Amino acid sequence: MSGLSETERAGCTKILKFMSKDDLLSLSDTVTSKMIVVENVTEAMETIISFTKNAEELLRRKKVHRDLIFKYLTKEGVAMLPSTEKHQLVKRTLELWSSGKAVDDNSHLDETSETTDSTSTKAEVGFDPLVLGQQFCQWFFQLLNSQNPSLGQQPQDWGPQHFWPDVKLCLLSRTSSEQTEEFLGAELVSLRLLALTKEERLLLSPNLEPPGLRGLASPHGLVLVAVAGTIHRDAACLGIFEQTFGLIRSPLENNSWKIKFVNLKIRGQEALGGAEMAAPALTYNLVELQLLCGR
């Protein structure tokens, strides 16, 4: 009876799991006009899904509160402002489902972005990974920071085209509590990093000199760049970050470097205990970096 696609069914189920038992049973009564009596939460969810004609109808139900949809989108790596209204969240969720979250591997192969040229240093014999690291970081953080509306700059060409389709992002933030997030795929990784500057209005200022920056090259063509820096919002320094990138050249795009994985650790002021923040140094040791490089 359900008119939902597989993606919509999976997404609706995730949202329903956030609901209280009372709300689920009540919603089941509503969608079935009390024609079906359910015994438990699992039956309620299955019944709701079965009797739903389309995804939008379910998302617009009163019992499907705005906060539930916001929580779902956040877990899926879709950055939305906390003040976003329910109808906008519904629209974004439907867009996410209709795209199937699929990254079109071919969508960026024909594009030649002006900004990728600045990272097209070729890894010839004897090239210096540290120099590449400096060039890459100058390019990356300038590009990412340009998305911050408080700077008043023209945003540069940010997007999934700078990442490999199977890129992975691990984000660890230590502020008053510790939180770990993981995202997979160029679209989601690109959106989550964009949210740091565009929505959260953070400014990342890297330390481009050792011991704040290191570069390592693996025999398999991967270059690891590790950088530390400070995080700011407007005039306030909020803490420090450490970020490692795995870079691999794309032979289909003039051998420009594209990002294979990103690990980002953020430590807020309260987690630092008054440590020096002027020019942060990397806390990764060489063995840890070599392990990352050997992926």
Pairing of strands 163-174, 178-184: antiparallel
> What is the structure's pLDDT at 145?
93
Give the DSSP H or E segment for 164: strand 163-174
**And the tokens for 211?**
């011991």
DSSP bridge pairs for 227: 213, 243
110 has a pLDDT exceeding 50: no
3 has a pLDDT exceeding 60: yes
Taking alpha carbons only, the member of 116, 123, 18 closest to residue 65 is 18
**Which stretches within the chain are classed as H helix?**
6-17, 21-31, 41-50, 55-59, 66-75, 86-99, 129-145, 186-198, 269-272, 286-293
**Share of residues in the chain with pLDDT > 70 (%):** 86
281 has a pLDDT exceeding 80: yes
Residue-wise burial string across 102-118, b where 16 or more C-beta atoms lie within 10 A, e elsewhere: ebeeeebeeeebebbeb
Whether the CB-CB separation of 197 and 145 falls below 8 Å is answered with yes
184 has a pLDDT exceeding 80: yes
pLDDT tens across 127-145, in order?
688 888 988 999 999 999 9
pLDDT, greater one: 280 or 253: 280
CA distances from 138 to 105, 145, 246 (A): 27, 11, 16
> What is the structure's pLDDT at 79?
74
109 has a pLDDT exceeding 50: no
122 has a pLDDT exceeding 80: no
Q: What are phi and psi of 229, to 5 degrees?
A: -170, -175
What are the residue boundaries of the structural domains of the chain, listed by start?
Answer: 6-99, 115-293
178 has a pLDDT exceeding 50: yes
> What is the structure's pLDDT at 103?
30
pLDDT tens across 221-272, in order?
889 999 999 999 987 888 999 999 999 988 777 778 899 999 999 988 765 6
> What is the structure's pLDDT at 275?
52
Torsion 155-156-159-163 (CA) sign: negative
3: which DSSP letter? -
Taking alpha carbons only, the member of 72, 74, 55, 60 closest to residue 19 is 72
> What is the structure's pLDDT at 89?
92
- Report the mean per-residue pLDDT for the chain: 83
83 has a pLDDT exceeding 60: yes
Contacts of residue 91, defined as CB under 8 A and 6 or more positions apart, other chains included, come to: none
Give burial (CB, 10 Å; 0-12/13-18/19+) of 35. exposed
pLDDT tens across 188-214, in order?
999 999 999 999 999 999 998 888 999
Measured in whole angstroms, how far is the alpha carbon of residue 128 from the centre of its chain? 30
> What is the structure's pLDDT at 288?
80
> What is the structure's pLDDT at 58?
95
Q: Is the bond preceding 219 in cis, omega lying within 30 degrees of 0?
A: no
Residue 113 pLDDT class (50, 70, 90 cuts): very low
pLDDT, greater one: 179 or 81: 179
115 has a pLDDT exceeding 50: no
Give burial (CB, 10 Å; 0-12/13-18/19+) of 186. buried
Q: Which of 19-28, 91-100, 123-132 is modeled with the greatest confidence? A: 19-28
3-state secondary structure of 227: strand
Residue 123 pLDDT class (50, 70, 90 cuts): very low
Tallying the residues shown for the chain, one arrives at 295
> What is the structure's pLDDT at 84?
82
- For the domain made up of 115-293, give the CATH fold: Nuclear Transport Factor 2; Chain: A, (3.10.450)
Q: How many CB atoms are located within 10 Å of the residue 60 CB?
A: 11
